[in-house]
Amino acid sequence: MPKRGVISALLTAIGVVLLINFKTPSQQGFAAFNRQTVTGTTNTDGTASAGGTPPPTATVPPTAAATPTTKTITGPAISYFFGTAQVQVTLENGKITDVTAVQLPNEGQSAWISQQVAPILRSEVLSAQSAQINLISGATYTSAAYRQSLQAALDQARA
């Protein structure tokens, strides 16, 4: 076989291996995609860390014996046009330290929404936590189901 053929076969093989190893954020799992732990106030920039936690169930009793000051609350799974969104809020000592997506539509056409919308909302949320509030009265946004779920989780966020 001419050298040209060997070289192109080799390059093709390398190319295919690279393509197969390219993973979209949703393929990497939610842990990598959205998990950032922030202590303190507002900034959400940071590198994603690997490792995932199993998605929690909808009802989470904060067990007083084990971790008295860490609470993890899951918002409801909200269905909207592109799929289902569900948000999880982590609190330490009543302060929101993390907001993650338990479920975001990541199949097909809604993946881009998840990638686009989630990070923006996240930073907004973490900046609103100064007032030590138990719950919020007001109309809920329906433009993003993420927001609804988050709203609900946030309602009970500060104790």
Contacts with another protein, residue ranges (CB under 8 A): 1-2, 4-5, 8, 12, 15-16, 19-20, 22, 24-27, 58-64, 73-79, 107-109, 111-113, 115-116, 124-125, 127-128, 131-143, 148-149, 151-153, 155-156, 158-159
Distance in Å, CB of 55 to another protein, minimum: 14
Distance in Å, CB of 116 to another protein, minimum: 8
Distance CA 42, CA 110 (A): 28
Distance CA 137, CA 117 (A): 23
- Residue (50 or 64) nearer to another protein, CB: 64
Query: What DSSP element (H or E) covers 100?
Result: strand 95-103
Distance in Å, CB of 141 to another protein, minimum: 8
- Residue (36 or 148) nearer to another protein, CB: 148
Q: Is 33 exposed, middle or buried (0-12, 13-18, 19+ CB in 10 A)?
A: buried
- Residue (36 or 149) nearer to another protein, CB: 149
Distance in Å, CB of 51 to another protein, minimum: 21
- Residue (32 or 133) nearer to another protein, CB: 133
Distance in Å, CB of 2 to another protein, minimum: 7
Q: Is 31 exposed, middle or buried (0-12, 13-18, 19+ CB in 10 A)?
A: middle
- Residue (10 or 128) nearer to another protein, CB: 128
